Structure 1
Amino acid sequence: MATTPPVCDFGWIAPDFTLPGTDGRDWSLQDIRGPNGTLVMFICNHCPYVLAVIDRIVRDARALQTLGIGVAAICSNDARTHPDDDFEHMKVRAAEWGLPFPYLRDEDQSVARAWVAACTPDFFGFDADLGLQYRGRLDESRNAPAAPGARRELFEAMRQVAETGEGPRAQVPSMGCSIKWKAA
């Protein structure tokens, strides 16, 4: 079911975490943090919205890393109900997709809950002090191929954050599949 996250809560400070990565290392938010900002995205292996844009996520992540933006992705989906999102499948996808950033497993969903993540993909763009500056979409395509000349909204916003410390005030929320929460 498609859902959208809330609008950007400018300046919100993300709770720290330590999560295992598909690379065999544990990663904290401080490890990911870039000198000019940080991008953390909630994605998963099976979501058609993620699958439609993963090539552009990788392209933009590489470009943002050259601007001093730290990047990571987190999968928080319940792997019992969605086995394609388990840690072993995450390792396979990270390699297939050629992810140039850590892909982390939030098994107990505590990070997704603390961050109030809503969907996949859900983008959180922070300034150098880890204050939230962007919670918008990748681009206008949603779960379709990008139109020729489509504006790279996430990239442009995070470049602005890297250069000025502030994100754009006008943001369009992302849209994607809801996080697959574990039964209470």
Structure 2
Amino acid sequence: MPSLTTPPGELGFAAPSFTLKDVDGGMKSLADLAGPNGTLVAFICNHCPYVKAIIDRLVRDAAELKGLGVSTIAICSNDAVHYPDDDFPSMQRFAEQHRLGFPYLHDKSQDVARAYGAVCTPDFFGFDKELKLRYRGRLDSSGRQAGSPDAKRELFLAMKQVAETGQAPAEQVPSMGCSIKWKEA
């Protein structure tokens, strides 16, 4: 399956609200999880090679961003019927295996992915403290394989800037990944 890149973000776009089931079994809402200085919403899944290539870096960056008042929320929206590696029990195992220090939510209906305009995994939406979109780019130069250890931390630096100034860099390189696995109509 060919990889996709994210379209440019409509900066200023207001984050659509949601309430979804977390891998811990509880229901979590955007309002409950938003950070005081920004919120990163990451559409990921368990089986995608692009996600696997960056998950440890995402965990690292989310931990550092938390210290800056930026929360991270991961959402899996893939069709688990046709892609059973992305079902809820697999999400729970993935979260435990990678020691996700942030909520990993299940968008079973796919309504949240559609509301955000998510197209691939990983797909990152970086919001300011007012939940307005400021960043729609990649984590770093990693692709299907992890990038070099000294790769520029594009997502981290952008969200740090959002936390400190409310604005992200003007230059944003699109994220690349596997398409979201949409349910058949």
TM-score by length of 2: 0.98
Q: CA RMSD in A?
A: 0.7
Structural mapping, 1:95-174, within 5 Å: 95-174=96-175
Q: Which runs of 5+ in 1 are unaligned?
A: none
User: Percent same amino acid at aligned positions?
Assistant: 61
1:23 lines up with 2:31 in the alignment: no
Question: Contact 2:49/2:145 (CA < 8 Å) preserved in 1?
Answer: no
- The superposition leaves residues 75-131 of structure 1 with CA deviations (integer Å, 9 ceiling, x where unpaired) of 000001100000010001100010000000000100001111000000000000000
Cα separation, 1, equivalents of 2:125 and 2:3: 18
- In the alignment, what sits opposite 2:66? 65
Using the TM superposition, give the Cα deviation of residue 23 of structure 1 relative to its aligned residue in structure 2, in angstroms: 1.0
Secondary structure in 1 matching 2:20? strand
Q: Which runs of 5+ in 2 are unaligned?
A: none
Secondary structure in 2 matching 1:114? helix
Secondary structure in 1 matching 2:94? helix
Query: Aligned AA for 2:122?
Result: P
Cα separation, 2, equivalents of 1:110 and 1:118: 13
Between the two proteins, the alignment pairs up a number of residues equal to 184
- In the alignment, what sits opposite 2:54? 53
Using the TM superposition, give the Cα deviation of residue 14 of structure 1 relative to its aligned residue in structure 2, in angstroms: 1.4
Cα separation, 2, equivalents of 1:174 and 1:145: 14
Query: Aligned AA for 1:66?
Result: G
Cα separation, 2, equivalents of 1:156 and 1:57: 13
Query: Aligned AA for 1:170?
Result: E
Cα separation, 2, equivalents of 1:142 and 1:9: 23
Cα separation, 1, equivalents of 2:131 and 2:9: 14
Cα separation, 1, equivalents of 2:86 and 2:68: 30
TM-score by length of 1: 0.98
Using the TM superposition, give the Cα deviation of residue 148 of structure 1 relative to its aligned residue in structure 2, in angstroms: 3.8
Cα separation, 2, equivalents of 1:32 and 1:132: 16
Cα separation, 2, equivalents of 1:32 and 1:6: 26
- The superposition leaves residues 11-44 of structure 1 with CA deviations (integer Å, 9 ceiling, x where unpaired) of 1001100000001111111111000000010000
Query: Aligned AA for 2:18?
Result: F
Using the TM superposition, give the Cα deviation of residue 149 of structure 1 relative to its aligned residue in structure 2, in angstroms: 1.9
